[in-house]
Structure 1
Amino acid sequence: MTRPHIIGLTGSIAMGKSTVAKMFEAAGVPVFDADAEVRRMQGPGGALLPEIEAAFPGTTGPEGVLREKLGDIVFSDADALARLEMLVHPAVARKREQFLERHADRTMVVFDIPLLFEKGGAALVDTVVVVSAPAEMQRERVLMRKGMTPEKFADILALQLPDAEKRARADHVIDTGTSLEKTAAQVQALVDKLTADLRA
């Protein structure tokens, strides 16, 4: 069975990855958003709720996973986090397979995977695209987020591969330290290039 060319889209926190994912969609490329799938499966009536409640009693309710309660358990305990990932990752992998089946006739698709390098996801994709912006712009954007503190930001960065290393390992880099129009133009140019290369 033929399958589409898979673009792995990644980038550190507040680099503009979600914005770039929307630009790929606007350019006609279907996007699989791993985080959005997890939020759905952990939201009200979500498929993962019974398993999460069984593994971590008291961490779900009618509104879905109680993120703070679950976070308090898993972020301070590596074994608990590993148990949670054992529930979440196979479920996401099934959704990803279904997405590929639905879009089997497309030239290319995007997998939006925040921790693409950190979790070994680069092996799943054909082309890696890293979204990047200057560090001071990243910091400015992230500290505007509700509930974000410099300490939390430092903790998140510590879990992520440094931006310079991501750029070095990328096949293509989209610069979001510029206007939205210029970023969209970079995305469209990349889609055009990959489309031409795949047809050649």
Structure 2
Amino acid sequence: MKILGLTGSIGMGKSTTARMFAEAGVPVHDSDEAVHRLYSGALAPLVEAAFPGTMKQGSVDRIELAKRVLGKPEALKKLESIVHPLVRADADAFLARHRVAGAALVVLDIPLLFETGGRGRVDKVVVVTADAAIQRQRVLERPGMTEEKFEAILAKQVPDAEKRRQADYIIDTGQGMESARRAVSAIVAELGGENSA
């Protein structure tokens, strides 16, 4: 079973690209989705213990949590030390299930793949990219996003040029959906074996 790591900076179209892999029949583990799910499960009491008052009705209140960690490197590090091991365990369980099921190719959608040293967990890396102006426009259209927040997020991500330099495959989502879909199909055909049937 080949493990393909999918990553890209904020606003580059990674989630849309992950859906294209899923539509092509490739099992996808979405780290962001896992965090959402775990925030309503195993992570909620752990986060509440570290950041009292962030749990509402048994789930982590993401807005309250963001107020506690954004722009506070120590708090963010503390949160990541709680979250990352559980997300990693969730991904490992996903890999084990699909290995048993005989999948030829799976995708681990890891937003901070390079930042968290995740390169060694995957066989190949796809980096999703777009022109900086397109990226900025997409991100600033998100509800609650500000220039300041965007810059803070960018500052802790490996620069796009460096990600592209380390990539095995690059998908430029600025070229439109059809172009991205063709790139996904080509990668699945190359790596997928029976997945690509």
TM-score, with normalisation over the residues of structure 1? 0.90
Q: What one-letter code is carried by the residue in structure 2 that aligns with 1:32?
A: H
Q: CA deviation at 1:47?
A: 1.7
The residue number in structure 2 matching 1:167 is 164
The residue number in structure 2 matching 1:28 is 25
Distance 2:165 2:45 in 1: 41
Q: What one-letter code is carried by the residue in structure 1 that aligns with 2:76?
A: L
Matched position secondary structure for 1:119: coil
The within-5 A match list for 1:1-200 is 4-43=1-40, 46-62=41-57, 64-104=59-99, 105-195=102-192
Matched position secondary structure for 2:174: coil
Structure 1 stretches lacking a partner, 5+ long: none
Structure 2 stretches lacking a partner, 5+ long: none
Distance 1:147 1:69 in 2: 13
Matched position secondary structure for 2:106: strand
Confirm or deny: 8 A CA contact 2:2 2:191 kept in the other structure. Answer: no
Q: CA deviation at 1:52?
A: 1.5
Identity %: 54
Matched position secondary structure for 1:28: coil
RMSD: 1.4
TM-score, with normalisation over the residues of structure 2? 0.92
Q: CA deviation at 1:151?
A: 1.6
Aligned residues: 191
Matched position secondary structure for 1:177: helix
Distance 2:74 2:172 in 1: 37
Deviations 1:7-63 (A, max 9, x none): 0000011100000000001111100001100111113xx221112112221111116
Compared with structure 1, are the counterparts of its residues 89 and 11 closer, same or farther at alpha carbon in structure 2 (3 Å cutoff)?
A: same
Deviates more, 1:109-118 or 1:76-85: 76-85
